[in-house]
């Protein structure tokens, strides 16, 4: 029962934020998904419906230096990895879509690491 309540409240937060966040070719959308064991990030152009870059703790390059994929250290490494991939594709600025998750903990660590690596929000 409690899990359903938490899931519904996250979905409501997501719907509220997605009304205002939209990815364009100039400024695509950076979407975060977190599970208990991993964290995933995608950069999406909503007009074309295309994923431009993605990174996660499941990727071999990120996973090598980590013992566990569900903590803030893992989120920081995913943030730097997505900023590097975005730079390779030519993306300098994004709209941050936290996907209904509260902006603290792993989500905040990922966003701060991506900013520090040169991605503008």
Element (H, E) at 2: helix 2-18
Of the listed ranges 10-24, 48-62, 104-118, the one predicted with least confidence: 10-24
pLDDT of 90 above 90: yes
Q: Give kind and range of the element (H or E) at residue 59.
A: none
Domains of the chain with bracketed CATH: 2-116 (3.30.420.100)
Q: Write out pLDDT tens, residues 28-78.
A: 999 999 999 999 999 999 999 999 999 999 999 899 989 999 999 999 999
**1 has pLDDT over 90:** no
Residue 69 and residue 37 in contact, taking contact as beta carbons nearer than 8 Å: yes
d(CA 119, CA 91): 8
- Range 8-26 burial, b when 16+ CB lie within 10 A, else e: eeeeeebeeeeeebebeee
* Residue 105, pLDDT score: 96
């Amino acid at each position: 029962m409690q899990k359903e309540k938490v899931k519904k409240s996250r979905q409501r937060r997501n719907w509220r934020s997605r009304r205002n966040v939209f990815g364009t070719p100039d400024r695509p959308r950076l979407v975060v998904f977190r599970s208990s064991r991993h964290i995933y990030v995608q950069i999406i152009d909503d007009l074309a419906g295309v994923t431009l870059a993605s990174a996660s703790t499941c990727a071999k390059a990120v996973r090598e230096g980590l013992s566990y994929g569900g903590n803030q250290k893992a989120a920081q490494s995913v943030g730097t990895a997505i900023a590097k991939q975005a730079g390779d594709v030519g993306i300098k600025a994004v709209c941050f879509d936290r996907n209904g998750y509260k902006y603290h903990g792993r989500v905040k660590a990922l966003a701060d690491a991506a900013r520090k690596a040169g991605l503008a929000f």
